[in-house]
Structure 1
Amino acid sequence: MADRGRRCAPERGLRAGLSPGRVGPALTGRAAVVLGCALRAGRPSPAMRLRVAHAAVLFHDRRVDRIVVTGGGGPPSEAEAMRGLLRAAGVPDGAVIPEGRAANTFENLIFARALLPPDTAVTIVSSRWHLPRARLIAAILGWRVAASGPRGTAPRPAAIRAALREVAAVPPSAMRALGWRLRGTGKGL
């Protein structure tokens, strides 16, 4: 959410209009959870466009049958902006579940999971530099997930900054997820 200083990706150099890369098989049973990504002046960032395009490929390839888009802020919320991008990519509204409250990766996962039946297999969709932390949070919560992210290009300095931000975010994210799990509030995926 741009309003709270949320940073999403090293956007300079991202090629938002290109076909997303395909990474690893998605689980079957089958929802993609697209993690929130900052809006810039109310418009989708290049990184958001890449994530959403990747989720649309998963849907059109029948690797998922619904897509949860996450993220608050706005107006519009990150989730609503992503829903519009999915609509433009030919994903029917009935296959898209918006979650418009989350303000961080942990909330993206917790709030999205609450919208899905317990037996749903989940594929987390985000930028590749973001996926290790998202998977770590899910693992600490005891959830089994797949992860898939688009190929993006960024200049080396921007990519290094993104990776360093992720490294710095691991301890607080892990502690929050561990606290959630120890309280018994984060049950299976």
Structure 2
Amino acid sequence: MTLVAIVLGAAVRPDGEASPTLRLRVEHAVALYHRGAVAAVCVTGGVGRHGPAEAEVAARLAMSLGVPERDVILEDRSRTTVENIAFARPLIGVHQVVLVSNRWHLPRAWVVARILGVRASVSGPRGRMSTSRTIAATLREVAALPSTVWRAWILSKRSAPKPEPRAR
């Protein structure tokens, strides 16, 4: 089965470059690509506080690190973890993916993928944040889980296939 890495979006700096978080995620996905663990890299994220779109910045970075353009898939409309996964799914054409993000973010992302019907494994780089920042990020993830699950569940119900009417 062909696996695709979905790099979950992260901020772009005011100068239009990848934030350290986005860079870390892309570098990790590129390493998976070069090891042959994934066949393509799908970068996600729309325009946040600073342009250009997170996915555009991530795509340029992935290609500069040796991923051919043909193996980079761009999803540049999403603004949340739920949208990253939901909007990437129709672009990649597979139902099994490797979610790439920071390790503290991956449990919430994995739950979203499951709710949306995406079979996902997770892979995250070793973090470079201080212990106090890692704890703060983890607590933020725990606090975000209920509303994220709710949004993913609502979206899954809207996009779920409608049952066929029964013949009488």
State the TM-score, normalizing by the size of structure 1: 0.79
Cα drift, residue 152 of structure 1: 1.4
Output the CA distance in 2 between the equivalents of 1:136 and 1:33: 15
For the 8 Å contact 2:73–2:92, the answer to whether it is kept is no
Sequence identity (%): 46
**Residue 137 of structure 1 corresponds to which residue in structure 2?**
112
Structure holding more helix per residue: 2
Q: Secondary structure at the match of 2:41?
A: strand
**Residue 116 of structure 1 corresponds to which residue in structure 2?**
92
| Correspondent of 2:55 among 62, 75, 79 | 79
- Structure 1 outlier segments of 4+, above 4 Å: none
For the 8 Å contact 2:4–2:38, the answer to whether it is kept is yes
**Is 2:147 the counterpart of 1:172?**
yes
**Is 2:14 the counterpart of 1:35?**
no
For the 8 Å contact 2:12–2:51, the answer to whether it is kept is no
Deviation string 1:121-161 (CA, Å, 9 cap, x unpaired) is 21110111100000011112232111101111211211111
**Is 2:28 the counterpart of 1:54?**
yes
Output the CA distance in 2 between the equivalents of 1:75 and 1:113: 24
Q: Secondary structure at the match of 2:92?
A: coil
Output the CA distance in 1 between the equivalents of 2:36 and 2:5: 11
Q: 1:141 to 1:105 in 2, by over 3 A?
A: same
Amino acid aligned to 1:80: E
Amino acid aligned to 2:151: R
**Residue 67 of structure 1 corresponds to which residue in structure 2?**
41
Mapping of 1:82-97 within 5 angstroms? 82-97=58-73
Cα drift, residue 120 of structure 1: 4.3
Amino acid aligned to 2:5: A
What are structure 2's unaligned runs of at least 5 residues? Answer: 162-168
Q: 1:160 to 1:186 in 2, by over 3 A?
A: farther
**Residue 161 of structure 1 corresponds to which residue in structure 2?**
136
